[in-house]
């Protein structure tokens, strides 16, 4: 892993080109571009986001799939077609953006705060799960699942019940100094589809889309955001199934580890392990410490309130 002193020496070199300061996922960021989704911050940054030249390809990538290549603590994301840019994530302390052709600023931010951030967290020794999380009296509760499983919809239901949202989509799980796993606070908004927002009584006309031609919007959380890391209490693995009512079952033993391996953010476990060998040991320790449940919800009809009741009853016991 990159030592903190080395990180600081590198990021200071480009600070003059990065006038914006933000915080997210336990990190202070200096950025060359405005990122209105994030909370403002002060103090010395640990990460720099800047414009510059990027490689067109990595010479000997350990991981290569679609738009992403990784080699050691360097990852190149070739997103010219969807974001108009290439992104070079390096050493857990720098994201370099090369604007290849004109693109939407919203698209650029979406991939910066998604795929790029997830990769940067891995480079820093933090496990990023594809999950949302809320703060509860018992600690952080995370909802994992593939895209479309219902993570954000279930989170919105708990938001409606008065729970604070801790993170949306990229869930940074770190090992705290007391030996327990914790979820780092993300940023104070959620990405929700228009139909989910309508069920929450929100007017999409007052919100902005996450991408052009996508009927999904940023919902500001304001006072419903928890901006402090929380000890991780439980993880719920959401899965649509041909059933009428939601069901919940505990995952134990080796199946627990395998289930967590399926939800590392935007990279398969075998790919992550080939480039960051420590991931296996960190997930093994996480499986030993944290409650994991598989939650099936109806493919049709969702049964949202019954699902939220079931999960809430479990994590509050």
> Are residues 112 and 137 both part of a single domain?
no
Tell me the per-residue pLDDT of 92-143, one tens digit each, with 9 for 90 and over.
999 999 999 877 888 899 999 999 999 999 999 999 999 999 999 999 999 9
CA distance 277 to 4: 20
| Residue 90 confidence (pLDDT) | 96
Residue 141 near residue 134 (C-beta atoms within 8 A)? yes
CA distance 107 to 247: 37
Q: Count Cβ atoms within 10 A of the Cβ of residue 87 and give its class: 0-12 exposed, 13-18 middle, 19 or more buried.
A: buried
> Are residues 179 and 307 both part of a single domain?
yes
Domain limit, last residue, from 73, 92, 124: 124
Domain limit, last residue, from 92, 107, 124: 124
CA distance 31 to 28: 10
CATH of the domain at 215: 3.40.50.300
> Are residues 161 and 245 both part of a single domain?
yes
Tell me the per-residue pLDDT of 231-288, one tens digit each, with 9 for 90 and over.
999 999 999 999 999 999 999 999 999 999 999 998 888 888 888 999 999 999 999 9
Quote the distance between the C-alpha of residue 316 and its chain's center.
Answer: 24
> Are residues 179 and 93 both part of a single domain?
no
Domain limit, last residue, from 91, 124, 157: 124
Question: pLDDT above 70 covers what percent of the chain?
Answer: 96
Which residues have C-beta within 8 Å of that of residue 306, sequence separation ≥ 6? 245, 246
Number of separate helices (H) and strands (E) present in the chain: 10, 19
């Amino acid at each position: 892993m990159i030592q903190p002193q080395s990180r600081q020496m590198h990021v200071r070199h480009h600070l003059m080109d990065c006038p914006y300061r933000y915080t997210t996922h336990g990190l202070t960021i200096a950025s060359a571009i405005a990122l209105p989704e994030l909370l403002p911050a002060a103090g010395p940054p640990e990460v720099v986001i800047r414009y510059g030249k990027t490689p067109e390809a990595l010479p000997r990538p350990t991981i290569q799939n679609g738009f992403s290549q990784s080699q050691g603590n360097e990852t190149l994301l070739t997103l010219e077609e969807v974001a108009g840019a290439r992104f070079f994530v390096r050493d857990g302390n720098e994201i370099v953006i090369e604007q290849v052709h004109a693109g939407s600023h919203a698209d650029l931010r979406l991939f910066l705060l998604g795929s790029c951030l997830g990769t940067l967290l891995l480079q820093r020794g933090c496990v990023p799960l594809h999950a949302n999380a809320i703060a509860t009296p018992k600690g952080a509760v995370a909802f994992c699942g593939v895209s479309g499983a219902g993570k954000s919809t279930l989170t919105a239901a708990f938001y409606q019940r008065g729970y604070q949202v801790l993170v949306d989509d990229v869930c940074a799980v770190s090992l705290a100094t007391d030996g327990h796993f914790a979820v780092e606070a993300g940023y104070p908004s959620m990405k929700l589809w228009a139909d989910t927002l309508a069920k929450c009584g929100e007017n999409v006309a007052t919100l902005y889309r996450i991408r052009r031609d996508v009927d999904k919007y940023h919902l500001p959380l304001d006072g419903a955001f928890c901006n402090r890391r929380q000890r991780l209490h439980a993880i719920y693995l959401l899965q649509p199934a041909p059933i009428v009512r939601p069901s919940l079952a505990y995952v134990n033993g080796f199946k627990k580890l395998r289930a967590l391996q399926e939800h590392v953010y935007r990279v398969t476990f075998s790919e992550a392990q080939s480039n960051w060998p420590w991931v296996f040991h960190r997930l093994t320790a996480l499986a030993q410490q944290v409650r994991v449940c598989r939650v099936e919800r109806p493919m049709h009809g969702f049964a949202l309130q019954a699902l939220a009741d079931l999960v809430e009853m479990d994590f509050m016991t």
